[in-house]
Amino acid sequence: MKEDIKSMSLEELEIFIESIGEKKYRAKQVFSWLYKGIYNFNDMSDLSKELRNKLDQIAYIERLDILKIQESKKDRTRKYLFGLRDGSAIESVFMKYRHGNTVCISSQAGCRMGCDFCASAIGGLTKNLSPSEMVDQVIAIEKDTGEKVNNIVVMGTGEPFDNYDNLCKFIVLIHTQEGMNMSLRNITVSTCGLIPKIKEFGTDFPQVNLAISLHAPNDAIRSKLMPINRKYPMDELLRVCHEHTMVTGRRITFEYALIEGVNDSSENAKELADKLSNILCHVNIIPLNLVSERDYRGGGRRSAQIFCNILTQNGINATIRRELGSDIDAACGQLRLKQKN
């Protein structure tokens, strides 16, 4: 079986290159080509023909197939449907902000967390993505747009901490100077609340931003929306979040999808503000995107503004997420579902 060379760290690649009788420094050359978006060993022009042929026989360069692209006419947001080698499909999103370009990538094909309002969980988990499959989402989007990616959020399809080892390797790869040289502070990882991994992540990557998909002010609502809350209740989750901020010195973002008649009342906002009062945090209020397979509806911008005002009046830093790609399949998992259908 050929080796997945794009999933190798630089150190692993050096060992691999030496194991086939080549000089160690060749690994940096190969590594650099991979992150320039080269998919064919024959295009690595500073390697000998002998080495290129040898690599072609024993290794492969992961390449995702672009199955579909949707581009917003409103704000140039681009949503990608990528095909994997096993026939699975995943989504990524390219977004333009004043502070630079952000790519939201997937960490799994499908998801087994079962959040009741989420399109990504429909159909369950298909597979964990390899480090190279995560990396190539970024590389492929840079090649397609011709623009540099400045920030990465692991917030697409899947629960990143349910694929923890590959997530960590992806972060190391994307951060390596000889590769994309992405600052750890420009990477954000979102989780629905896998507490043991939150603790581990704070030690492993204290500079990486952490986002928590919270979406409720109490256990009753959160357990209805998010089955993970039955295993890791909200009080325990918030306690660990507070510890995370103390260990890392970095603010946590709480994602809060506003669902009409479920979690969007003034009382919900006041209760949430009370729960978060001792945590260094920011609340990102998200008007829920409509998912045809689900029964929930978003409350709209006016409802979001009222909710946001109550939080800020009670001392919680909060903003409403800018709506990008509202004229395309904006919610995570929607484009993938259409492909299946």
**Active-site annotation holds for 133:** no
Which candidate in 14, 91, 142, 255 is catalytic?
Answer: 91
DSSP secondary structure string, 77-131?
A: -EEEEEE-TTS-EEEEEEEEETTEEEEEE-SEEE-SS--TT-STTTT-EEEEPPH
Catalytic site residue 332? yes
Q: Which of 118, 192, 241, 332 is catalytic?
A: 332
CB of 17 closer than 8 Å to CB of 164: no
- Helix, strand, or coil here: 320? strand
261 C-beta neighbours (distance < 10 Å), count: 9
Evaluate the CA torsion angle 257, 259, 265, 267 in order and state its sign: negative
Give the Cβ contact number of residue 332 at 10 Å. Answer: 23
Residues paired with residue 210 on neighbouring β-strands, in sequence order = 189
Report d(CA 221, CA 228) in Å as an integer.
Answer: 12
Give me the active site residues, please.
Answer: 91, 332
